[in-house]
Amino acid sequence: MGAAFSANMVTSLRQVKIVELKDKLTELQKEQDCFYVICADMAKDGSAETAVGVAKVIPKDHYFSYKFVNLLTIPSTDYMVIANGFKKLVLAYNAKLLIYDANGIGAAMRDWLNKETTDESGFILEGLGIINPPDSAEHDLKRYPKDKTICYEIKSGGKVGEQIH
C-alpha cells in the first residue's frame, strides 16, 4: 500500500501491442540496419515460466535505440525445451545476441545452448557459442564461428557483483 504504481498498472504496461514476427514482415516494414536481441530470465521452480523478450535494435548516427517487439514465456522447466525455444527464436529473428540470466539454475543453460539439440519433431538445432564463459568452463565448451557465438551470460556474482550488492 502507498506505492506510486500498483502491480496491475505495471502489468498492463508490459504488453506489446503489435507483435513483430520477423519472418512475416513485408518489405516496407523491414528497417534498414536493424537487428534483434533476445533476452531471457530463467525460471525453474514449480509453475514459474522463463520470461523472454525480443528487442529490435535500431542503429542511429551516434547511438542505438530499441523497442521490444515480442514478449513471451516458455512454459516448461525442462532445460532442453527452454534451450530449443531460445534457438528457434534466434533462427526466427536472425538474432545477433541472446542474453540470459546465468545465475543459479540459469548456469546449466550454457551446456544446453552450446551443444546441438533436437526438438520434439526431430528438427536438429545447432549449438551456439558462449561469448563470456567463466574460466572454469572454457575447456568444456565447443567453439563456434563468430556469427554463431552470440550467447552472453548475465551473472551477479564475483567481485563486481559483491560491490553492486
Pairing of β 97-101 and β 149-154: parallel
- Provide, rounded to the nearest whole percent, the portion of the chain with pLDDT above 70: 75
Q: Residue 135 corresponds to which cell in the numbers above?
A: 574460466
Q: Are 49 and 75 in contact (CB under 8 A)?
A: yes
Nearby residues of 137 by Cβ (< 8 Å), 6 or more positions away: 110, 130
What are 83-99's pLDDT values in tens digits? 999 999 999 999 999 99
- Give 37's Cβ-side CA count (13 Å radius): 15
The DSSP code sequence of 70-100 is: EEEEE----HHHHHHHHHHHHHHHT-SEEEE
- Tens-digit pLDDT profile for residues 98-146: 999 888 778 889 999 999 999 999 999 999 999 998 888 778 888 999 9
Q: What is the pLDDT of residue 119?
A: 92
Strand 149-154, strand 129-130: pairing: parallel
Domain coordinates of the chain in residue numbers?
Answer: 31-164
Asked whether 114 and 105 are in contact (CB, 8 A), the reply is no
Q: In this predicted model, which residue has the larger pLDDT, 89 or 32?
A: 89
- Better pLDDT: 155 or 54: 54
- The mean pLDDT of the chain is 82
pLDDT exceeds cutoff 50 at 29: no
Which cell numbers in the block locate residue 31?
A: 528497417
Q: What is the pLDDT of residue 55?
A: 93
Radius of gyration of the chain (CA): 17
Q: Which overall architecture, per CATH, does domain 31-164 show?
A: 2-Layer Sandwich (3.30)
Single-letter amino acid, residue 57: V
If you search the block for the grid coordinates 546441438, which residue do you land on?
Answer: 116
pLDDT value of residue 3: 47
pLDDT tops 50 at residue 1: no
Nearest to 149 by CA among 113, 112, 125: 113
- What's at 128, amino acid-wise? L
Q: What is the pTM of this model?
A: 0.79
